[in-house]
Amino acid sequence: MRKYVILAACYHFCGLAILFTHYLAVSPYNKAVLDEKLTLVAASHIGTAELVDNLPALFRENAHAAALKLSDLRGNFLGAMYDARRMPASDYKLFLDTKIFDPQKPPLPHYALHTWESKRRHVRMVVLSLKRMQIAEYLSLMSREYALHYLIPLFIVLGAVGLTAYHFYFAHNAKPLSRFPKNITHRKSSVTPSAPTIARTKASAWSIKSGAISESTMQNVLINLRSLAGATYVSVFARTERQRWQSVIALHGSLIVRGDAVERPELLNDTLSEAITHSADRCEWLFFNAAAPSATLCFVLRFAASENAPSREGTERIAEFVRAHARALLVEHNYESSILDSESGLYCAPYAAFSLKEKILAGKPFAVAIFRFAASDSSHELLPKTARTAIRIMRENFTAEEAPAIARGQDNTIICIFQSRTDKAVKETAAIRQLYNAYTSLGKRFEAAAIEDAASGGGATRTLRMLERLLAHSKASGKLEFYQPGQTLQII
């Protein structure tokens, strides 16, 4: 994002440079042209009365004129006029009260003074003009300058198109193969098959599939079901092993709610037998993927009024849609429940414990970090943003092959389990400190701790206890606590 912001800023800076170069070239006041126009306009009038009546013509001839005053050679007042856009009323009153004008010194700042006399008509003309056209005035005149009127919007559109093309076709080399001719001849690679190269592509380590972080099948099905039925609220419930209905996900407008935050309908608490059930006012409908006693999924649809409730044909279409997509949703729900946390989109706590045991049994050193947040900073609304911050910081420091496992632990904690290594934890330490600073800048209230070599802890349970002890030290000191091999830490 920083790279594209810099490119867009440079591009628009060039556009502003072009704009102001043209502005500085056309906006300065030209004294010779002004004197010539005023002379021609004044000489075209026969009498003084006609000259006063045609004062607006002088302003049309001169785009810089702010005020104009006519008097005879004795100083008697004949007429005056001013442009309210270029001169305030107070300055105009001061200009009228002035009787003696010094050509070398204008009576008001930011204005240029010009006088013209006609001894034959006994008329003196005093003109105050802007020294330079105001930028707002210059922009207002763009409607007459057709080239700039169309050039500047075209410049902005071309910049947006250029950034889009750079992002999709040059930055990521996302050119589809269908654009190349089929008879293209591929060069033989000099790399032998025994020396495979490491692909620098984004592996699935960063593609954590969950509706809180990225698009999922469950979210797409809810959007399609809402548009098919015309409902205002759609939610999904799954039956657990204890024959209880567990809230999974809900779609309300553009807001996606997961977990216990999903509102539970009262009809679901009753003993139901049919596959389709609705409330007495026909505003709330329940669709099961089978008969209610043996169903595994329940789709709850709410409508704005009873008149919006589906007809008989509509209920058949919705029931068919539910049966067709129930298996895919059930598979994804079981996958997310066993590996991913439904609220944050990160790995769940059992997966984190399994990863700790697996890496400890491998015997290679690896780092682990933990962040425990306050209850107010780990709510359903702020939790996805907290998870995305951790993913973003780790993506800046590690490739997809080196991606750490970011999991949501117990008691509002986030655990980062890094890959095994053979050298010192330099990159891991830098990433942990960067994430700590990021959470601090966001105003989060949390404690943080890290272990440089968690393999020396002896087991997953002991490692978690060490992290708990370090979090207690972090709460007392208000800093990030690091535990390195060789230190002494009392664990009860």
Do 475 and 382 share a structural domain? yes
Q: What is the DSSP letter of 283?
A: S
User: Do 279 and 267 meet the contact criterion of CB atoms below 8 Å apart?
Assistant: yes
**Max mean pLDDT range (31-40, 244-253, 430-439):** 430-439
Give buried/exposed letters for 39-64 (b at 16+ CB in 10 A, else e): eebbeebeebeebeeebeebbeebbb
Do 125 and 150 share a structural domain? no
CATH code for position 431: 3.30.70.270
- Whether 163 is in a domain gets the answer yes
Do 154 and 124 share a structural domain? no
Nearest to 122 by CA among 76, 68, 67: 76
Task: Measure the CA–CA gap between 268 and 271, rounded to whole angstroms.
Answer: 8
pLDDT at 249 over 50: yes
Q: What is the pLDDT of residues 459-485, one digit of tens each?
A: 778 888 888 888 988 888 888 988 876
Do 379 and 277 share a structural domain? no
3-state secondary structure of 301: strand
Q: What is the pLDDT of residues 286-339, one digit of tens each?
A: 888 888 888 888 899 989 888 888 888 888 888 889 888 888 887 777 766 667
Q: What is the pLDDT of residues 208-221, one digit of tens each?
A: 433 333 346 778 88
3-state secondary structure of 340: strand
User: Do 435 and 392 meet the contact criterion of CB atoms below 8 Å apart?
Assistant: no
Count CB-CB contacts under 10 A for residue 89.
9
pLDDT at 150 over 50: yes
- Whether 195 is in a domain gets the answer no
Predicted local distance difference test score (pLDDT) of residue 415: 92
Task: Measure the CA–CA gap between 308 and 302, rounded to whole angstroms.
Answer: 10
In angstroms, the first-to-last Cα distance of the chain is: 46
- Whether 192 is in a domain gets the answer no
3-state secondary structure of 413: strand
Read off the amino acid at residue 212: A
Predicted local distance difference test score (pLDDT) of residue 176: 43
More confident residue, 62 or 279: 279
Do 47 and 112 share a structural domain? yes
Structural domain count of the chain: 4
Please compute the mean of the pLDDT values over residues 11-38 and round it to a whole number.
74
CA 429, 430, 431, 432 torsion-angle sign: positive
Please compute the mean of the pLDDT values over residues 382-389 and round it to a whole number.
84
Do 293 and 263 share a structural domain? yes
Do 157 and 105 share a structural domain? no
CA distances (Å), 204 to each of 99, 209, 390, 399, in order?
Answer: 83, 9, 17, 11
Domain that holds residue 114: 31-132
Domain boundary among 132, 162, 190: 132
Residue whose tokens read 């389990």:
417
Do 290 and 431 share a structural domain? no
pLDDT at 118 over 70: yes
More confident residue, 135 or 13: 13
CA distances (Å), 144 to each of 95, 139, 141, 150, in order?
Answer: 31, 10, 6, 11
Do 149 and 119 share a structural domain? no
More confident residue, 180 or 311: 311
Tokens of 356: 């700790």
- Whether 489 is in a domain gets the answer no
- Whether 179 is in a domain gets the answer no
Question: What dihedral angle (degrees, nearest 10) is formed by the CA atoms of 416, 419, 423, 424?
Answer: 0
More confident residue, 401 or 230: 230
> 133-142, 223-232, 351-360 — which is least confidently predicted?
133-142
> 285-294, 373-382, 388-397 — which is least confidently predicted?
373-382
Predicted local distance difference test score (pLDDT) of residue 100: 80
- Whether 490 is in a domain gets the answer no
Residue 270 pLDDT grade (very low, low, confident, very high; cuts 50, 70, 90) = confident
Give the ranges where 398-459 is alpha helix by DSSP (H). Answer: 426-441
Percent of the chain's residues with pLDDT above 90: 5
User: Do 35 and 118 meet the contact criterion of CB atoms below 8 Å apart?
Assistant: no
Predicted local distance difference test score (pLDDT) of residue 181: 44
- Whether 242 is in a domain gets the answer yes
pLDDT at 397 over 80: yes
pLDDT at 23 over 80: no
Residue 183 pLDDT grade (very low, low, confident, very high; cuts 50, 70, 90) = very low
Please compute the mean of the pLDDT values over residues 377-387 and round it to a whole number.
79
Residue whose tokens read 């000191």:
477
Do 475 and 364 share a structural domain? yes
Characterize the bridge pairing of strands 255-258 and 245-252: antiparallel
CATH code for position 319: 3.30.450.240
Do 21 and 145 share a structural domain? yes
- Whether 212 is in a domain gets the answer no
pLDDT at 223 over 90: no
Exposed / middle / buried, residue 117 (Cβ in 10 Å: 0-12, 13-18, 19+): middle
Predicted local distance difference test score (pLDDT) of residue 388: 86
3-state secondary structure of 300: strand
Domain boundary among 339, 360, 376: 339
Do 376 and 302 share a structural domain? no
pLDDT at 227 over 90: no
pLDDT at 342 over 70: no
CATH code for position 78: 3.30.450
Domain boundary among 339, 374, 392: 339
Predicted local distance difference test score (pLDDT) of residue 448: 93
